Chain A
Amino acid sequence: MATIEHIIPYRFSSEGQHLKRSVMRELLKRASEPDVISLAGGLPDSDLLPTAAYQACLNEVIAHEGGRALQYRPQYEPLRAWIGGWMRGRGVDCDDDQVMITNGNQQGLTILSKLFLEPGEPAAIEAITFTGVQQVTVGRDAHIHPIPVDLTTGADTDAIERIFAQYQPRLAVIIPDFHNPLGVSLTDEKRRLIAAMAGEYGVPVVEDDPYSALRFYGEALPPIRAYDRSDYVFYLGSFSKMLAPGLRLGWMIAPRELVSRITTIRESIDLESSALTQRAVYQFVSNGQLEPHLAQMNAENRVRCEAMLSALDQHLGSIAHWTKPDGGLFVWLTLPEAINTWDLLPRAIDEQRVAYIPGSAFSVSGGHHNTMRLNFSNGKPDLIVRGVARLADVIRAAL
Chain B
Amino acid sequence: MVLNPSQGVVDLFTSPNIQFSLDREGEEPIYRQLIRHIKTQIDSGVLPTGTRLPASRDLAQHLNISRISVVNAYAELRAEGYLSAHAGRGTFVAKDNGGSSSPPEKSPTQPDLTNATPDRSLREMMRLARQPGIINFGPGAPPIELLPTQFLKEAINAVIDRDGAKALGYEMTEGYGPLRTAVRDYVTALGIQCSASDVLITGGTQQALDLVIQALVSEGETIVTEAPTYIGMIDIIQTRRIQAQGVATDEEGIRLDHLENYLIEHAPKLIYVMPTYQNPTGMVMPLHRRRQLINLAVEYNTPILEDAVYHEFRFEGDSIPPLKALDESGIVIHASGFTKMLLPGIRIGYLIANGTHYNRLVRVKQAADISTPGLNQRTIHWMLERGVMAQQLERNNREFKRRRDIALAAAKKYLPAGTKWKTPEGGLYLWVTLPRNGPTAAELYISAIQVGVGYAIGNVFYPQNPDNFTIRLNYGAHRPAEIEEGFRRLGATWRELAAEYAEIEKSPLL
Asked if B206 and A269 sit within 8 Å, CB to CB, the answer is yes
Asked if A246 and B167 sit within 8 Å, CB to CB, the answer is yes
**Residue from B167, B171, B343, B366 in contact with A70 in the complex, judged by beta carbons closer than 8 Å:** B343
Asked if A132 and B144 sit within 8 Å, CB to CB, the answer is no
Closest to A68 in B: B144
Number of B interface residues in the complex (CB < 8 A)? 66
Asked if B346 and A276 sit within 8 Å, CB to CB, the answer is yes
The distance from the CB of B133 to the nearest CB of chain A, in whole angstroms, is 17
Please provide the chain A residues from 96 to 140 with a CB less than 8 Å away from any CB of chain B in the complex.
103-104, 106-107, 110, 114-116, 118-119, 132, 135-136, 139
The digit string for A30-65, where 1 denotes a CB below 8 A from any CB of B, is: 000000000000010011010100110011001000
Please name 23 pairs of A and B residues whose Cβ atoms are closer than 8 Å in the assembled complex, sorted by A.
A2-B169, A2-B172, A5-B371, A6-B370, A51-B167, A58-B156, A62-B152, A70-B152, A70-B346, A107-B368, A119-B219, A170-B109, A202-B109, A232-B3, A244-B169, A247-B375, A248-B371, A269-B210, A270-B202, A270-B207, A270-B369, A274-B345, A275-B345
Q: What's the Cα separation between A114 and B238 when bound, in Å?
A: 12
Q: What's the Cα separation between A47 and B120 when bound, in Å?
A: 48
Q: Which of A158-166, A256-264, A321-329, A335-343 contacts B (4 or more CB under 8 A)?
A: A256-264
Q: Report if B97 contacts A (CB, 8 A).
A: no
**Residue from B1, B168, B203 in contact with A244 in the complex, judged by beta carbons closer than 8 Å:** B168
Asked if B109 and A232 sit within 8 Å, CB to CB, the answer is yes
**Residue from B113, B170, B206 in contact with A5 in the complex, judged by beta carbons closer than 8 Å:** B170
Q: What's the Cα separation between A245 and B108 when bound, in Å?
A: 35
Asked if A72 and B344 sit within 8 Å, CB to CB, the answer is yes
Q: Report if B139 contacts A (CB, 8 A).
A: yes
List chain A residues, Cβ under 8 A from B210: 268-270
Asked if B344 and A6 sit within 8 Å, CB to CB, the answer is no
Q: Report if B160 contacts A (CB, 8 A).
A: yes
List chain A residues, Cβ under 8 A from B398: none
Number of A interface residues in the complex (CB < 8 A)? 73
The digit string for B217-230, where 1 denotes a CB below 8 A from any CB of A, is: 00100000000000
Q: Report if A271 contacts B (CB, 8 A).
A: yes
Asked if B168 and A245 sit within 8 Å, CB to CB, the answer is yes
Knowing A70-B152, A202-B2 are in contact, say whether A51-B168 is a contact too (CB < 8 A): yes
Asked if A46 and B168 sit within 8 Å, CB to CB, the answer is yes
Please provide the chain A residues from 326 to 358 with a CB less than 8 Å away from any CB of chain B in the complex.
none
* Other contacts beyond A43-B170, A66-B149, A257-B3: 8, CB < 8 A: A71-B141, A104-B370, A106-B370, A110-B368, A231-B3, A246-B375, A264-B238, A271-B232
The distance from the CB of B463 to the nearest CB of chain A, in whole angstroms, is 14
Asked if B171 and A2 sit within 8 Å, CB to CB, the answer is yes
Knowing A110-B369, A231-B4, A274-B373 are in contact, say whether A71-B170 is a contact too (CB < 8 A): no
By a beta-carbon cutoff of 8 Å, the part of chain B in contact with chain A is 1-4, 87-90, 108-109, 111, 113, 117, 120, 139, 141, 144-145, 147, 149, 152-153, 156-157, 160, 164-174, 202-204, 206-207, 210, 219, 232, 235-236, 238-240, 343-347, 363, 366-376
Q: Report if A3 contacts B (CB, 8 A).
A: yes
6 closest A-B pairs by beta carbon, nearest first, are: A275-B345, A261-B88, A244-B168, A270-B207, A268-B235, A46-B165
Q: Report if A196 contacts B (CB, 8 A).
A: no
List chain B residues, Cβ under 8 A from A258: 3, 88
Knowing A46-B168, A49-B165 are in contact, say whether A59-B153 is a contact too (CB < 8 A): yes
Closest to B90 in A: A257
Q: What's the Cα separation between A3 and B367 when bound, in Å?
A: 15
The distance from the CB of A90 to the nearest CB of chain B, in whole angstroms, is 22
Asked if A271 and B3 sit within 8 Å, CB to CB, the answer is no
Closest to B360 in A: A12
Closest to B342 in A: A70
Asked if B88 and A103 sit within 8 Å, CB to CB, the answer is no
List chain A residues, Cβ under 8 A from B149: 62, 66-67, 70
Asked if B147 and A261 sit within 8 Å, CB to CB, the answer is no
Asked if A270 and B347 sit within 8 Å, CB to CB, the answer is yes
Q: Which of A71, A170, A265, A274 has the most CB of B within 10 A?
A: A274
Q: What's the Cα separation between A115 and B169 when bound, in Å?
A: 29
Closest to B203 in A: A270
List chain A residues, Cβ under 8 A from B1: 199, 230-231
Asked if A71 and B153 sit within 8 Å, CB to CB, the answer is no
Asked if A47 and B346 sit within 8 Å, CB to CB, the answer is no
Q: What's the Cα separation between A276 and B375 when bound, in Å?
A: 11
List chain B residues, Cβ under 8 A from A67: 144-145, 147, 149
Q: What's the Cα separation between A139 and B371 when bound, in Å?
A: 18
By a beta-carbon cutoff of 8 Å, the part of chain A in contact with chain B is 2-6, 10, 12, 43, 46-47, 49, 51, 54-55, 58-59, 62, 66-73, 103-104, 106-107, 110, 114-116, 118-119, 132, 135-136, 139, 168, 170, 199, 202-204, 230-232, 240, 244-248, 255, 257-261, 264-265, 267-277
Asked if A255 and B368 sit within 8 Å, CB to CB, the answer is no
Asked if B345 and A71 sit within 8 Å, CB to CB, the answer is yes
Q: What's the Cα separation between A70 and B149 when bound, in Å?
A: 8
Closest to B130 in A: A74
Q: Which of B4, B111, B166 has the most CB of A within 10 A?
A: B111
Q: What's the Cα separation between A20 and B139 when bound, in Å?
A: 47
The distance from the CB of B364 to the nearest CB of chain A, in whole angstroms, is 9
Knowing A106-B370, A275-B345, A277-B373 are in contact, say whether A245-B239 is a contact too (CB < 8 A): no
The distance from the CB of A111 to the nearest CB of chain B, in whole angstroms, is 10
Q: What's the Cα separation between A254 and B141 when bound, in Å?
A: 28
List chain B residues, Cβ under 8 A from A51: 160, 164-165, 167-168
Q: What's the Cα separation between A106 and B144 when bound, in Å?
A: 31
Asked if A12 and B369 sit within 8 Å, CB to CB, the answer is no
The distance from the CB of A284 to the nearest CB of chain B, in whole angstroms, is 12
Q: What's the Cα separation between A247 and B109 when bound, in Å?
A: 32
List chain A residues, Cβ under 8 A from B240: 268
Asked if B373 and A269 sit within 8 Å, CB to CB, the answer is no
**Residue from A46, A70, A259 in contact with B169 in the complex, judged by beta carbons closer than 8 Å:** A46
**Residue from B165, B363, B367 in contact with A110 in the complex, judged by beta carbons closer than 8 Å:** B367
The distance from the CB of A262 to the nearest CB of chain B, in whole angstroms, is 8
List chain B residues, Cβ under 8 A from A135: 366-367
**Residue from B90, B171, B202, B232 in contact with A246 in the complex, judged by beta carbons closer than 8 Å:** B171
Q: Which of B109, B147, B174, B202 has the most CB of A within 10 A?
A: B109
Q: Which of B172, B174, B366 has the most CB of A within 10 A?
A: B366
The distance from the CB of A376 to the nearest CB of chain B, in whole angstroms, is 18
Closest to B147 in A: A67
Q: What's the Cα separation between A276 and B90 when bound, in Å?
A: 33
Asked if A246 and B373 sit within 8 Å, CB to CB, the answer is yes
Asked if A70 and B344 sit within 8 Å, CB to CB, the answer is yes
Q: What's the Cα separation between A256 and B45 when bound, in Å?
A: 29
Q: What's the Cα separation between A103 and B210 when bound, in Å?
A: 15
Asked if B239 and A103 sit within 8 Å, CB to CB, the answer is no
List chain A residues, Cβ under 8 A from B144: 67-68, 70-71
The distance from the CB of B375 to the nearest CB of chain A, in whole angstroms, is 6
Asked if A3 and B168 sit within 8 Å, CB to CB, the answer is no
Q: What's the Cα separation between A170 and B109 when bound, in Å?
A: 7
**Residue from B87, B169, B375 in contact with A43 in the complex, judged by beta carbons closer than 8 Å:** B169
Q: What's the Cα separation between A4 and B171 when bound, in Å?
A: 9
Asked if B168 and A49 sit within 8 Å, CB to CB, the answer is yes
List chain B residues, Cβ under 8 A from A49: 165, 168-169
List chain A residues, Cβ under 8 A from B88: 257-261
Closest to B153 in A: A62
Asked if A114 and B239 sit within 8 Å, CB to CB, the answer is yes
Knowing A66-B149, A70-B344, A269-B368 are in contact, say whether A264-B171 is a contact too (CB < 8 A): no
List chain B residues, Cβ under 8 A from A268: 206, 210, 232, 235-236, 238-240
Asked if B89 and A257 sit within 8 Å, CB to CB, the answer is yes
Q: Which of A46, A135, A255, A268 has the most CB of B within 10 A?
A: A268
List chain B residues, Cβ under 8 A from A203: 109
Asked if B2 and A5 sit within 8 Å, CB to CB, the answer is no
List chain B residues, Cβ under 8 A from A277: 373, 375-376
Q: What's the Cα separation between A68 and B207 when bound, in Å?
A: 22
Asked if B139 and A72 sit within 8 Å, CB to CB, the answer is yes
Asked if A115 and B111 sit within 8 Å, CB to CB, the answer is yes
The distance from the CB of A4 to the nearest CB of chain B, in whole angstroms, is 8
List chain A residues, Cβ under 8 A from B367: 106, 110, 132, 135-136, 139
